[in-house]
Structure 1
């Protein structure tokens, strides 16, 4: 029988100064619980120690029965007891209504969104983590493709389909080859010179890349926090990528067919201004290229 678990986090600020919300606070408190109504069939709530918090899900370990499970961030909230106990001890019984404590009503998803907004704000202010290229030279993300060369080769040469080749031409019109990344369903973020073997895996199937993996790869490649990101891909790849770079521009947003996407990509490749999803990208004005 597992030993009784006792949370160790304690909040004892007599001034009831609110901690900053976000994933760091959740990990510091070290305990999450499911929302009322979301729990075992026998009743109650899931309570556990967060092991990893991703863009959409949290992996937690339940100490009372030593089971690890994953739940959507929208179904979880931070363990609030230490804050409410401190509030009650100082005569404050509506702590969530006090200035700076509104996050007591948040789910884990809200905390993740807060961190992403903070990252976007820092990017806009130019105080993001260090990345390798200048802000005027965008990071451009393009999708992989089903058609591939039959032998191992650099990622920039592996994908042979017409749609991928068109996204590459558009990307080449926007930035240098060092700042282009291919999202592979199997490998994640691929520099053009990384040699890989052909594979057969479609995006979204078991084993395909996750947002958590993309975020880790972006961090390893020095790209996390890049303030100037463009995604030249369809809806599913764009949604996945914007979980890592929520401020990224997506000029194919709002297209209704592959044909319309190809038309926009051709215009980008030709250096023409385009619009889509309320977004206008004057290619030559915003991202001048002296090395084309």
Structure 2
């Protein structure tokens, strides 16, 4: 019998301040569920961990049986139970009707549309390479916690200063283009080795994530990762180009993190 899955997301704000809706919130919550009447045999409430949120469909892993399922974003919504429970604890039983909480009734498609409407056209897509130094935790953990090396951590700090969670990706030699929340198992693989991500696979992932046509792309990596990503985004900015080594690259990353501007 599979182990019981225990969600980790908590909402404990006694002021009932509404979080900002959008893709980042869905990823933070880490669970989606199908609308009433949607899903095999269950009549809805089909719940799972999102593994890939695309522009039209979301793929999610069902924790109770390990099966992956794909449904249209119009048929899915984020798991809202933590917010409703917090409201009930404050004697609030009409939370969706309160200002800022109307997104409790939104689908995943609505959240993505909100991002499109509120994100500036020039918001950069920032891509940070993975790192050889990894958290040894044997189970899957979010990508942003798997890589622990100084270079990678500086890259994430620079990305946070340049853009938001929705437009930051980690480029993994094994898994390719990953949102920060994507669950990653331990591995040991370098670009160019058998089984490593290819430019064609990366291009397909970018298309699935609605990022293929992004016009403002910033690559925060060394030569090999930059060369791979430039096959997908040949117009990308490469602010670490021309450096003499890792030390100078780390200095530039630290400067970007401090100023919010690429070199």
- TM-score range normalised by the length of the shorter chain: 0.5 to 0.7
Q: Alpha-carbon deviation of 1:268?
A: 0.3
Aligned to 2:185: 197
Is 2:161–2:260's contact at 8 Å kept on the other side of the alignment? no
CA distance in 1 between partners of 2:193 and 2:218 (Å): 25
Please tell me whether Structure 1 or Structure 2 has the larger radius of gyration of its CA atoms. 1
Q: Alpha-carbon deviation of 1:274?
A: 5.4
Assess, with a 3 A threshold, how the Cα gap between structure 1 residues 147 and 247 changes in structure 2: closer, same or farther: same
Aligned to 1:264: 252
Aligned counterpart for 1:142 among listed residues 125, 128, 133: 128
CA distance in 2 between partners of 1:212 and 1:245 (Å): 12
Over aligned residue pairs, what C-alpha RMSD do you find? 1.5
What TM-score do the two structures reach when normalised by structure 2? 0.53
1:224 aligns with 2:219: no
Aligned counterpart for 2:230 among listed residues 242, 259, 263: 242
Q: Alpha-carbon deviation of 1:149?
A: 1.2
Aligned to 1:253: 241
1:153 aligns with 2:141: yes
Instruction: Say which SS state the counterpart of residue 217 (structure 1) adopts.
Output: helix
CA distance in 1 between partners of 2:244 and 2:260 (Å): 20
Q: Which runs of 5+ in 2 are unaligned?
A: 1-114
CA distance in 2 between partners of 1:165 and 1:159 (Å): 8
Aligned to 1:183: 171
Instruction: Say which SS state the counterpart of residue 259 (structure 2) adopts.
Output: coil
Q: Which runs of 5+ in 1 are unaligned?
A: 1-130, 276-292
Instruction: Say which SS state the counterpart of residue 270 (structure 1) adopts.
Output: helix
Q: Alpha-carbon deviation of 1:204?
A: 1.6
CA distance in 1 between partners of 2:134 and 2:122 (Å): 32
Deviations 1:209-261 (A, max 9, x none): 01000000000000001011100001111111011011110000111100010
Deviations 1:100-120 (A, max 9, x none): xxxxxxxxxxxxxxxxxxxxx
Q: Alpha-carbon deviation of 1:135?
A: 2.0
